[in-house]
C-alpha cells in the first residue's frame, strides 16, 4: 500500500509539473505573441507610411489585418502547447468560426463592407462625406468601422456596413465645386443694373474660375422680389470662403448701388362693400 501511495504521489507530482510547464509555456507564447502582434502593427504602419505609392486609406486596414493574423497564429500555438493536434485545431477553429460567424453576423459584415469600401473607393482618408445625414471628415477606415470627425469637432465611429449601405456624397472628390448665391431685389429696381453689379463681383474675385464662365441670371419672379442667382465655379478648397465672401459682398454692393433686398410682403386690397 505504501508503494502504491508513493507511485500515485510521484505520478501526480509529475502531472502537476508537466501541466505547470505547459501552462507557463502557453502564457509565455501568449504574452510574446501579443507583444509581437502590437510591434508588427506599428512596424507595418511605419513601413507603409514611408511607401509613397500606398494609398493612405489602405494603410490602417493592412496594418490591422497583419495584427489579427499574428494573433490567430498565437492562439494556434497556445493550443498546440497543450497537445492539441493541428487537425483538431483546424476543426475547432472551423467550428468556432462557424459559431462566431452566426453570432457576429453584423461584425463580419462590417469587415466585408470595409473591404468593399477599400475596393470601390467612394471616399479616401481626408475626404469630407455625407452618408444620409452621417457627415464628417474621414480619418481612418478600420477593419470594423470608419472613424470620422464632424465639422464642429465631434468624433464619429461609424460601422463600415452602415456606410456601404447608404448613399454617399463626397464633397472632396472633385477638384472644383459650383457656388450659388441667390439674392432678391425689389420690383422697383433696375434688373440690368443689379445684374451688372453682381457680375462685377464675380469678375473681380481671383478665386472664381474662368472656365466654366461665371454667370448671373434672373431665376424667378417671386411674390415679393425678383430673384437673381450668382453662379460660379471655384477650387474645392475655396468653396466656403468664396460662398461667405460673396454673400457679404453682394449685400454691400447692392446697398451701394441703391438696390434694395425686400422683405417678404403681401399687398392687401380692401374692397368696400355696398349694400344694395
Q: pLDDT tens across 17-57, in order?
A: 556 656 666 777 778 778 888 887 788 777 777 776 666 76
- What does the pLDDT read at residue 100? 55
Asked if 232 and 214 count as a contact pair (C-beta separation under 8 A), the reply is: yes
Q: Across the chain, what does the average pLDDT equal?
A: 81
Extract the C-alpha cell encoding 119: 475596393
Percentage with pLDDT > 70 across the chain? 74
Residue 158 and residue 165: Cα distance in Å, rounded? 12
Q: What letters, b where the CB count within 10 A reaches 16 and e where it falls short, cover 186-199?
A: eeebeeeebbebbe
The model's pLDDT over 161-182, given as tens digits with 9 standing for 90+, comes to 899 889 999 999 999 999 999 9
What is the chain's alpha carbon radius of gyration, rounded to the nearest angstrom? 34
Q: Where in the chain are all domains bearing CATH 3.30.70.100?
A: 176-256
Tell which wins on pLDDT, 198 or 273: 198
The model's pLDDT over 101-140, given as tens digits with 9 standing for 90+, comes to 554 456 778 888 888 888 888 998 899 999 998 999 999 8
DSSP structure class, residue 246: H
Q: Where in the chain are all domains bearing CATH 2.30.30.60?
A: 122-170
Q: Name beta bridge partners: 128.
A: 137
Tell which wins on pLDDT, 272 or 207: 207
SS3 115: helix
Specify the fold of 176-256: Alpha-Beta Plaits (3.30.70)
* pTM for the structure as a whole: 0.62
Residue 242 and residue 248: Cα distance in Å, rounded? 10
Residue 249 and residue 202: Cα distance in Å, rounded? 10
Q: Which CATH number is correct for 122-170, 3.10.20.90, 2.60.40.1840, 3.10.129.10, 2.30.30.60? A: 2.30.30.60
Residue 128 and residue 171: Cα distance in Å, rounded? 6
Specify the CATH architecture of the domain 2-103: Orthogonal Bundle (1.10)
Amino acid at each position: 500500500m505504501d508503494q502504491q501511495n508513493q507511485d500515485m504521489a510521484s505520478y501526480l507530482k509529475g502531472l502537476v509539473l508537466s501541466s505547470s510547464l505547459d501552462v507557463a509555456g502557453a502564457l509565455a507564447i501568449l504574452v510574446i505573441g501579443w507583444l509581437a502582434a502590437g510591434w508588427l502593427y506599428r512596424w507595418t504602419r511605419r513601413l507603409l507610411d514611408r511607401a509613397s505609392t500606398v494609398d493612405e486609406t489602405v494603410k490602417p486596414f493592412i496594418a490591422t489585418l497583419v495584427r489579427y493574423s499574428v494573433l490567430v497564429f498565437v492562439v494556434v500555438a497556445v493550443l498546440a502547447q497543450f497537445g492539441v493536434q493541428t487537425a483538431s485545431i483546424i476543426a475547432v477553429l472551423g467550428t468556432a468560426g462557424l459559431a462566431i460567424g452566426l453570432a457576429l453576423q453584423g461584425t463580419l459584415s462590417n469587415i466585408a463592407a470595409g473591404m468593399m469600401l477599400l475596393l470601390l473607393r467612394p471616399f479616401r482618408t481626408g475626404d469630407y462625406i455625407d452618408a444620409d445625414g452621417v457627415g464628417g471628415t474621414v480619418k481612418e477606415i478600420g477593419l470594423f468601422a470608419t472613424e470620422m470627425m464632424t465639422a464642429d469637432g465631434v468624433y464619429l465611429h461609424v460601422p463600415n456596413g452602415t456606410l456601404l449601405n447608404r448613399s454617399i456624397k463626397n464633397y472632396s472628390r472633385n477638384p472644383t465645386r459650383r457656388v450659388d448665391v441667390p439674392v432678391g431685389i425689389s420690383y422697383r429696381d433696375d434688373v440690368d443694373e443689379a445684374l451688372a453689379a453682381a457680375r462685377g463681383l464675380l469678375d473681380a474675385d481671383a478665386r472664381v474660375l474662368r472656365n466654366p464662365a461665371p454667370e448671373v441670371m434672373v431665376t424667378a419672379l417671386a411674390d415679393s422680389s425678383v430673384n437673381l442667382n450668382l453662379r460660379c465655379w471655384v477650387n474645392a478648397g475655396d468653396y466656403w470662403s468664396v460662398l461667405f465672401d460673396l454673400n457679404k459682398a453682394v449685400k454691400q454692393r447692392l446697398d451701394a448701388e441703391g438696390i434694395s433686398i425686400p422683405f417678404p410682403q403681401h399687398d392687401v386690397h380692401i374692397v368696400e362693400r355696398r349694400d344694395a
